[in-house]
Amino acid sequence: MTEVVDLLRRLIRLDTTNPPGNETIAAELLRDYLEAAGVECALHARVPERANLVARIPGRGDGPSLALLSHTDVVLATASEWQRDPFGGELVDGEVWGRGALDMKGEVAASAVAMATLAREGWRGSGDLVFIAAADEEVGDGFGLQWLVEEHPEAVRTDYSLNEGGGERVVVGGRPVYLCSTGEKMSSPFRLRVHGRSGHGSMPGIADNALVKAAPLIARLGDFAAEPRLIPEVEAFFAAVMGEVPEPVQILETARGLGASALEIVEPLVAMTVSPTQVHASDKRNVIPGLCEIVLDVRLLPGQTVGEAEAAIRSTLGDGDYELENLERTGGTRSPIGGPLWDAVASFVETEEPGAVAAPTCCAGFTDSHWVRDAFGTTAYGFFPARSIDPELAARLIHSADERVPVDDLELGVRFLRHAAQTVCA
């Protein structure tokens, strides 16, 4: 059994379901493992049971620094839905099973093993190599990386960072492509409040049913379609896979011509999206609602503003007796494409699979990377290469039953993280 497999199995057996988290048990396991290899470690915790680990191989000087970002909390696993114990960490037919195998204790284990093996070899870069195993990514209640950048900025400030969010191997136009996330869309939900006049359910004629008034507005939002934009990440994606860039009006047609994988990658990245996801009206069957509230899941392209989103939504809705308010905004950051970290990604792909290319993309969701981009201007990419698992299968398994990761992909990830450290911090 390899070192990364053993460590991942031990991590999976620690239940760090968030809530409540209890990530300290994982942080302590990682600390003990890394300190045995001679790596400097510190635990930082807002509350004792929710510790973050920060490990460091100090650089020889003031060269570029690199952080390996990860999180140790996982989402709920309902054991009755699984074929195997979700916290058993079983090794079956070359795959490690358990909650967090893909999201993201596999990368946690690979990062720790990359650090430990480099330390044992006596390697030191010109700049610091930092490993951050943060709490609370899945919920985001201020116990994890957000808290670290606010309360312990010097512990987690680096020039570059690697995190989850990319690394899938897809075939586009007959060519293998490894996706590297260099930016993320912004999550910016809105609440739509439609007003009417309440009344008894048996007398609809004297009421003004807010739910009925909301229905055509919801239907309009279901047909929402913004004008396509060619963002830098999509432009660079096309340049990498086909050597030329289409006009904005031809983005989807061009992607469709390259195959289903290309269309799936590009389609969410050409415009903001609006999806009505929650509705609340009357709390009683016999009361006609005077108010109907609809929550809209809104995702913006990097660089778009909440004001732009509100204007587009109002234009789609038209005039009416409603209110529209933004609830929050998270993510929406991007990093430059190019430079030492991009070179590390591209050179690894070329060496591991001749003929394959690395292509930039923009994560349709968001990760913890936005905290370090916003706080420090860190160049942060999402890239943990996966060659053995089908990307569609991986997408179905994350946050779902029977989550598992191939051993070959864990080993591939260790090789990449070592390569990145030696390239960026050389």
Active site residues: 73, 137
Q: Give CA separation, 68 vs 41, 167, 214, in Å.
A: 14, 14, 46
C-alpha 76/C-alpha 93 separation (Å) is 25
In 3D space, the residue among 369, 308, 327 whose CA is nearest the CA of residue 184 turns out to be 369
Residue 341 exposed, middle or buried by CB count within 10 Å (0-12, 13-18, 19+)? buried
- Say how far residue 112 (Cα) sits from the centre of its chain: 20
The size of the chain, in residues, is 426
Nearest to 367 by CA among 177, 140, 133: 140
Backbone angles phi, psi at 178, to 5 degrees: -105, 125
Query: Using N-to-C axis directions, what is the helix angle for 105-120 and 24-35, rounded to 10°?
Result: 20
For residue 366, the SS3 value is: coil
- Please, which residues bridge with residue 392 across strands? none
Q: Are 267 and 361 in contact (CB under 8 A)?
A: no
Residues 136, 144 contacting (CB under 8 angstroms):
yes
What type of residue is 4? V
Kindly state the helix (H) or strand (E) to which residue 384 belongs, with its residue range: none
Contact assessment for residue 168 and residue 261, using Cβ atoms and an 8 Å cutoff: no
Token pair, residue 217, equals 């507005």
Q: What are phi and psi for residue 410, nearest 5 degrees?
A: -65, -45
> 152 is written with which tokens?
């312990």
Q: Hey, which residues does 53 pair with through a beta bridge?
A: 43, 133
Alpha carbon of 368 to those of 148, 337, 362: distances in Å?
11, 19, 14
Q: Of 110, 322, 135, 307, nearest to 215 (Cα)? A: 322
Q: Cα(358)–Cα(167) distance, rounded to whole angstroms?
A: 9
Q: Which two tokens stand for residue 299?
A: 């995702």
